[in-house]
A and B are shown apart, each in its own frame.
Chain A
Amino acid sequence: MSERRSKAAAGRRRKPRLLNERITLVHGAGGKATRNLVEALFLGELGNPLLAPLSDSALLEAGGAKLAFTTDAHVVQPLFFPGGDIGSLAVNGTVNDIAVSGARPLVLSAAFVLEEGLPISDLRRVVASMAEAAREAGVVVAAGDTKVVERGRGDGLTVTTAAIGLVDERVSLGAEKVRPGDKVIVSGTLGDHGMAVMIARGNLELEVEIASDSASIYPLAESLFTLGEDLRWLRDPTRGGLATTLNELTEASGLCVVLDEKALPVREQVAAACEILGLDPLYVANEGKLIAIVAADRAEQALATLRAHPLGAEAQIVGEVEPEPKGLVLLQTAFGGSRVVDMLAGDPLPRIC
């Protein structure tokens, strides 16, 4: 048993290495390979104290103001899907990175790479949807850029957004603030966005329509800021899903998170589609959810606060922080067993049979 244990621990602690000669799709899936790429290559070359924490936003001070700064590149196929499109996604994704850093989003920039042949009507739809999302999130697009590439050299349209936010003085968040006994709360159902996009691609022959949850979660985050230091840590579980995000927490904090499968909110259609495709909703992307870690004695209050907002109506306490086993996320299955919830290794792929 001890041999197993040390082997696994050593494997999981391994220093990031980049063994591939070329970029493969796995490097973009948001799991371990992505992390290896970022840590071994980008951090190696560009490393500095602001970048090093690899959190959702960099926190910096300028002229006495505490700011949060972040950027995100958006590629999605198809460009339009139930519940959103690349435009709303580009705004919400970046705004949400600011929100979970404990800051209020102020301004955005947007850079577009357009492929020759893209219908202007599509572009207009995307930009109108960005405007609408920005209005809802209370930000303005203050700077932008456009480039056009030859047919076949772009994915129709890619959008890169950056944002600046003002840090809320009431909170100070971080993995190091998390304590054993704290509760894990998710603001709603898991896996809606990833499943919506997968189904919208149209090659799965599934007759369900699932809408993306793409939305600005700043109002939800802000409603929790009143908890002050009892709010320990916030994240939006995008690519790689809840599982990957919580693994980042346990790795950074050296603590353990134990999830209760029965408490995890998953829409019936999403669960059914995942079941058919052999996917696990814990790993499927969300674009309008937050995970909050809250001191145990304020958890019920935090839950009630979230549920009072329409975006948080299906919020749940889904687990608890424990001291041991260090660095792992565990799941108590509804069936009565337990298992480790590891970080995602490749893209989540539908099974064969």
Chain B
Amino acid sequence: MKYVDEFRSGELARALASELAEAMPPGRELALMEVCGGHTHAIYKHGLDELLPPGLELVHGPGCPVCVIPVGRVDDAVALALEPNVIFTTFGDMMRVPGSKGSLLDARSRGADVRMVYSPLDALELARANSQREVIFFAIGFETTAPSTAVTLLQARAQGIGNFSVFCNHVTIGPPLKAILDAPELRLDGLIAPGHVSAVTGSRVYDFIAAEYGRPVVVAGFEPLDILQSVLMLVRQLAQGRAEVENQYTRVVREQGNPRALEAIEQTMELRDSFEWRGLGSIPRSGLRLREEFSEWDAERRYAVPGVSVPDHKVCQCGQVLRGLVKPWECKVFGNACTPESPIGTCMVSSEGACAAYYHYGRNRPKRLSR
């Protein structure tokens, strides 16, 4: 694949890696957080961690849309799926996430009509084709996926499709980062910010990190060379004592984001007073719900959703993993009781989860290899 190969060249990677080794401020240990699960995945898929100089550590962040959904919301989804006459639609990954009474996949084997879709528009299409049934879409994700949910809602209203509703779990990227930076347990020197989210929000949402917390931020693309270059940009800032928001992913991200996408979100959704995050607890003004005018399409208003907060499985350390406090392999059940085929926590389910990435790409394996 020509387009991709350009961003995966081993030669360029080696050149960047040696520049990086030179740029490291002598005698300092640096910890950089890659906020996004997509980055975590790419880092291990391409073995990028093996190219980093000693003294530089990458810490995983909370930017995995499946991982941050708490147990209680999964239980709500299962309850909705079991409502009579409902077709419950979801992205594939979410089907395997365990709730306290099983996953959506389990609900399906008990008779619930749970279907995988690739976009909320597919769910709307399903509602149109099954006018006798009620179709619910399980909306999750950051500002990356919220616009497509918003556009779907606008279409549902314009076309008067009444047998469609959204179970809204959209979240925003800024507040969890603030929560992590406020936590005393973690020392972070800089952040690699997610490219796709930033394409919608713009890079301005990170300004507070540089201004209030004095930490540099680089918005990064998803190819391994993008990430490596972003690491280099962060290390250079740190070596020069700068703390700025820089944009490595200029081919996609603009400072002001995507105004049309933001406008669609604004029209259909508003901030909740607070939203529960797995591992981070309730964070004020961090989650989105449908606006009053869209209550007709709001599954939480149309059905009696349990809406209780349920604690994580008692051995699960996803919370600490999502805050970068624990490495996946340090969790007691990693790789034995918790594996991708029988996951205990969300971080083992989603391909963007840190535990799944570690397990899948064997970062728990004997260190050897680079020849």
Complex Cα distance A24/B334, Å?
23
- A339 touching B47 by the CB < 8 A rule? yes
Residues of A within 8 A of B118 (CB): 203-205, 350
Complex Cα distance A219/B244, Å?
62
Q: Does B101 contact A (CB under 8 A)?
A: no
Residues of B within 8 A of A342 (CB): 359-362
> How close is A273's CB to chain B, nearest CB, in angstroms?
10
Complex Cα distance A334/B47, Å?
10
- Among A1-9, A65-73, A81-89, A128-136, the one that faces the other chain is A1-9
**What is the size category of the interface that chain B forms with chain A?**
35 or more
Residues of B within 8 A of A334 (CB): 5, 8-10
- A337 touching B141 by the CB < 8 A rule? no
Complex Cα distance A19/B339, Å?
13
- B361 touching A26 by the CB < 8 A rule? no
Residues of B within 8 A of A26 (CB): 96, 105, 341
Complex Cα distance A341/B229, Å?
26
Q: Does B44 contact A (CB under 8 A)?
A: yes
Mask for B343-363, Cβ within 8 A of A = 1, else 0?
000000001100000011111
Chain A 194-217 residues near chain B, CB threshold 8 A: 203-205
Contact A352 to B145, CB < 8 A, known contacts A4-B364, A335-B13: yes
Contact A271 to B1, CB < 8 A, known contacts A345-B360, A352-B145: yes
Q: Does B314 contact A (CB under 8 A)?
A: no
Residues of A within 8 A of B342 (CB): 19
Q: Does A147 contact B (CB under 8 A)?
A: no
Residues of A within 8 A of B339 (CB): 11, 32, 345
**What is the size category of the interface that chain A forms with chain B?**
35 or more
Q: Does B14 contact A (CB under 8 A)?
A: yes
Q: Does A325 contact B (CB under 8 A)?
A: yes
Partner of A325, one of B44, B93, B366: B366
Chain B 122-146 residues near chain A, CB threshold 8 A: 122, 140-142, 144-145
Q: Does B65 contact A (CB under 8 A)?
A: yes
Q: Does A143 contact B (CB under 8 A)?
A: no
Partner of A4, one of B329, B340, B352, B371: B329
> How close is B337's CB to chain A, nearest CB, in angstroms?
9
Partner of B336, one of A1, A11, A22: A11
Residues of A within 8 A of B38 (CB): 353
**A-B pairs, 5 with minimum CB distance:** A337-B47, A340-B362, A345-B340, A11-B335, A349-B92
Contacts A7-B335, A204-B118 supplied; 6 other A-B pairs, CB < 8 Å: A325-B368, A335-B46, A336-B10, A337-B46, A352-B145, A353-B196
13 sampled A-B residue pairs with Cβ under 8 A = A25-B105, A26-B96, A32-B341, A280-B45, A324-B368, A337-B51, A345-B340, A345-B341, A346-B96, A351-B93, A351-B351, A353-B38, A353-B196
